[in-house]
């Protein structure tokens, strides 16, 4: 197993001490690689990049709020699902609260939880929401619900909340003008002992600064630049509205 892991990790090695490989300043153990393979059910699986392994370690550590900036489909979700699975196997029945900006993402996310053998629940009401589930899925408007906040307050009082995860966190700024619910998310900082995991594929420097103003300082783990050289903005000057929309699909 070490040979297989070494082949992937060799370009990033700073030092090797017994079973630990150090990527930058964060040690990534071969045991963690083994847990990833068990989690995915693929013997040859590897972390998609060094930063993904660093993010899993940081999430498990839980001492700091972190932002994970990785390209679309690079494995941001695995970072915290793997963390939840590892904790569940050690008997830590703590809840991870996942906040999704779009209802359309919920079914796919629920399926991924089931595939990972993690119990997940949607918010229904205080009587019918499973407080023992590994993951509570909220869509962002529910964060304004008084009953949801009461449920979170009670979980926090019982020390049963492990972390908050905010997916597509760049939308907190980008969409806040027309979806005021995004402005309510920083209010969850009232649970000051619960770490936040912020996920996005798009976090330029100016937006990182704005999010830090809203959520407080966080450790940023990046695997790639946010520059997209393949994307271009093209401006065409037109005479009227009809000419402006004629190119849109009907």
In a domain, 27, yes or no: no
In a domain, 65, yes or no: yes
In a domain, 180, yes or no: yes
For 169, other C-beta atoms within 10 Å of its C-beta total 28
| Helices of type H across the chain | 2-9, 30-40, 50-61, 76-89, 106-115, 146-157, 171-174, 205-215, 241-245
Residue with tokens 């700024």: 173
Residue ranges making up the domain that contains 105: 61-222
In a domain, 9, yes or no: no
| CA atoms of 165 and 120, how far apart (whole Å) | 14
In a domain, 10, yes or no: no
Query: Is the distance from CB of 65 to CB of 217 less than 8 angstroms?
Result: yes
212 — phi, psi (to 5°)? -65, -35
pTM tops 0.85, yes or no: no
Q: What is the pLDDT along the chain (250 residues), one digit of tens a residue?
A: 444 444 444 433 333 333 333 334 455 578 899 999 999 888 888 888 889 999 999 999 999 999 999 888 888 999 999 999 999 888 777 999 999 887 777 778 888 888 888 988 888 776 667 778 899 999 888 888 889 999 999 999 999 999 999 998 888 877 777 777 777 787 888 898 899 999 998 888 888 888 888 888 888 888 766 566 667 778 878 888 887 777 676 5
For 119, other C-beta atoms within 10 Å of its C-beta total 15
In a domain, 72, yes or no: yes
User: What's the structural domain count of the chain?
Assistant: 1
In a domain, 55, yes or no: no
What CATH number should be reported for the domain holding residue 108?
A: 3.40.50.300
In a domain, 155, yes or no: yes
| CA atoms of 21 and 215, how far apart (whole Å) | 32
């Amino acid at each position: 197993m070490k040979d297989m892991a070494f082949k992937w990790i060799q370009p990033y090695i700073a030092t090797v001490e017994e079973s630990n490989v150090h990527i930058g300043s964060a040690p990534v153990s071969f045991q963690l690689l083994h847990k990833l393979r068990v989690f995915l059910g693929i013997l040859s699986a590897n972390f998609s990049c060094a930063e993904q392994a660093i993010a899993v370690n940081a999430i498990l550590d839980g001492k700091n709020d972190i932002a994970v900036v990785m390209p679309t489909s690079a494995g941001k979700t695995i970072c915290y699902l793997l963390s939840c699975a590892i904790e569940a196997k050690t008997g830590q029945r703590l809840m991870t609260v996942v906040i999704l900006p779009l209802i359309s993402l919920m079914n796919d996310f629920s399926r991924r939880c089931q595939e990972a053998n993690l119990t997940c629940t949607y918010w229904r009401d205080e009587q019918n929401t499973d407080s023992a589930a590994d993951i509570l899925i909220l869509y962002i408007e529910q964060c304004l619900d008084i009953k949801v906040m009461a449920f979170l307050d009670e979980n926090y009082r019982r020390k049963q909340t492990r972390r908050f995860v905010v997916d597509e966190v760049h939308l907190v700024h980008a969409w806040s003008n027309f979806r005021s619910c995004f402005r309510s998310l920083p209010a969850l900082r009232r649970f000051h002992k619960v770490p936040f995991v912020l996920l996005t594929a798009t976090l330029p420097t100016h937006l990182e600064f704005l999010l830090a103003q809203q959520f407080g300082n966080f450790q940023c783990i990046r695997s790639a630049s946010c520059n997209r050289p393949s994307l271009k903005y093209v401006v065409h000057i037109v005479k009227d509205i009809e000419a402006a929309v004629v190119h849109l699909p009907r």
